[in-house]
Chain A
């Protein structure tokens, strides 16, 4: 996949690992600040703006505070798992980012360097496998704390993760139909070649993916595992200091990875819209920018400015989705537990299944007929657009999420406790009663 010597490969990979890890953690720190400031703005406040210009040093102050704080250990907690849980939460959150390509390949004097930590051929499967491992951290934290609220939080995170993992996987399937590959660099390439970002031909898959990603990252309106109003703070109730911070870092790095995934799968990753100069892919040992009509690959060269521009493009797209995550958090109230399960199993799963079938059929027909290029994308856009309209205007009318009062009007609410008619009290006749 590249033309580097072994030494150069080891060195560039180490540099990339270090850089991506640092940037990831720095962005996570920044996101905690952005979240709080955005919350402030939405509530007509200003948010933390005291530490440094615009409060930019607030995350550093928080970090110092959390390191200096006392680490508490509940007397009845399982010490081993209690300490292990934050690590288990943070590791998958951080390493899932490894397969996300964040810029066009960078030419260096030693060869062209891919701007992705590990361009492994099982990209999406790797992400699905690791992002669901994050729930072990939350569940172990809840269990090891030996606290009823933490335990309930852990249980909820596990059941929520299971419920939405299915819909998440199914919503990625249409992307794989179009890309024909699970490598993320290939998915970016295919979107460039098609000329359509997958958000258009796969609009409903995008919506389903966003909803599932919200549930997977335990963000509002799906933050039941740490529902403050019911469970204190859920699975991390008993944690303090840096261990608590690690859960936070894990949550935010999950958000970051989910946003990067949305950008990569549906918004063309690092590709810049309406510009074909950034089409770059490794094809049989050479960097190409496309194919001629005869199917011959066209050799291409990267450039450092292309790398920077594409990285900016990727950063903007990712930041947009992070913003949406936060925007939604400060808009929506939390679901009830039964609503979460209802949405997961009775809406998301059947809808995504039907959509996958429908799209598979459409693509099969289009392939048989021999439609390609722009028309292919346009027809898929129309089909998916129709599905999205049906989803928004037909499926989502009183079925997606309803208040108990509204659904109560359609069927009679029966009390589980049978009314027992009590014998009327006999009027007491005695001193002091009745004048």
Chain B
């Protein structure tokens, strides 16, 4: 498709007037000044509308008996482009694999959501959440307990049959 170019004509030199242009501009700013429709979001009181596909802080899904759903398959640390997931897997008496250590460094994470996409048991998710400020840097490395405690909604994955999430 050819690009359309809008040519802005310079005003005719004899017809420009600074004072009249100023008054016109002041009328415009006045219109905005009295316009009640402000864009400001009163943040802590009003929360922004996040998209259901917003990718924020992680959470780990939990079984009914309180165990993490993770089976320590090692796919998420493998796929993670920022290399921010540390996983040490273990195996119990019945041969079930489970994570002994599962840490996500939220500082390194780029919130691409690939861990959620790759997870075969839908255990690790990115979530619809962004208020993750902390007082120390250490607190940004989320361990397994912390990930299991998170209770914000999880991110909706992109569905190819419904590309716009409608």
A residues at B contact (CB < 8 Å)? 38, 40-46, 327-328, 330-332, 391-393, 396-398, 400-403, 405-407, 409-410
Contact = CB atoms under 8 A, between A and B. Distances in A.
Interface string B22-57: 100110111011110111101000000000000000
A263 B35 CA distance: 28
Contacts of A398: 13-17
Given A46-B38, A327-B30, A396-B18, 5 more contacts: A44-B37, A327-B26, A328-B22, A397-B17, A398-B15
A42 B19 contact: no
Contacts of B25: 331-332
B119 to A, nearest CB: 42
B20 interface: yes
Contacts of A46: 38, 40, 42
Contacts of A409: 10, 13
25 contacts: A40-B38, A41-B32, A41-B33, A41-B38, A44-B32, A44-B35, A44-B38, A46-B38, A46-B40, A327-B33, A331-B22, A331-B28, A332-B22, A392-B17, A392-B19, A392-B20, A396-B18, A396-B19, A400-B17, A400-B18, A400-B19, A401-B18, A403-B10, A406-B10, A409-B10
B66 interface: no
B11 interface: yes
For chain B, the bracket of interface size reads 20 to 34
A171 B35 CA distance: 36
A392 B22 CA distance: 11
A397 B22 CA distance: 13
A410 B11 CA distance: 13
Contacts of B20: 392, 396
B16 A402 contact: yes
B17 A396 contact: yes
B43 to A, nearest CB: 10
Contacts of B19: 391-392, 396, 400
Contacts of A331: 22, 25-26, 28-29
A99 B19 CA distance: 32
A400 B17 CA distance: 7
A161 to B, nearest CB: 22
B114 to A, nearest CB: 37
A328 B25 CA distance: 9
A118 B37 CA distance: 47
Contacts of B38: 40-41, 44-46
A406 B17 CA distance: 12
Given A392-B17, A396-B17, A400-B19, A44 B39 contact: yes
Contacts of A42: 29, 32-33
B26 A397 contact: no
A328 B18 contact: no
A328 B26 contact: yes
Contact of B33 (A38, A391, A402): A38
A45 B32 CA distance: 10
A125 B39 CA distance: 48
Q: Count chain B CB atoms within 10 A of each CB in A331, A392, A405 and give the residue with the most.
A: A331
A435 to B, nearest CB: 34
A397 B14 contact: yes
Nearest to B39: A44
Nearest to B31: A42
A330 B31 CA distance: 13
B35 to A, nearest CB: 6
B24 to A, nearest CB: 10
Contacts of B11: 406
A401 B17 CA distance: 8
Contacts of B40: 40, 45-46
Given A396-B20, A397-B17, A45 B29 contact: no
Contacts of A392: 17, 19-20
Contacts of B32: 41-44
Contacts of A397: 14-17
Q: Count chain B CB atoms within 10 A of each CB in A38, A330, A405 and give the residue with the most.
A: A330
A405 B17 contact: no
Contact of B16 (A38, A327, A406, A410): A406
A380 to B, nearest CB: 22
A41 B40 CA distance: 10
A40 B34 CA distance: 11
A412 to B, nearest CB: 15
Q: Which 3 A-B pairs have the closest CB atoms?
A: A46-B40, A400-B18, A401-B18
Contact of B29 (A327, A391, A401, A403): A327
B26 A402 contact: no
Contacts of A396: 17-20
B16 to A, nearest CB: 5
A40 B42 CA distance: 14
Contact of B10 (A41, A328, A391, A405): A405
Contacts of B15: 397-398
A391 B17 CA distance: 10
B25 to A, nearest CB: 5
Contacts of B33: 38, 41-42, 327
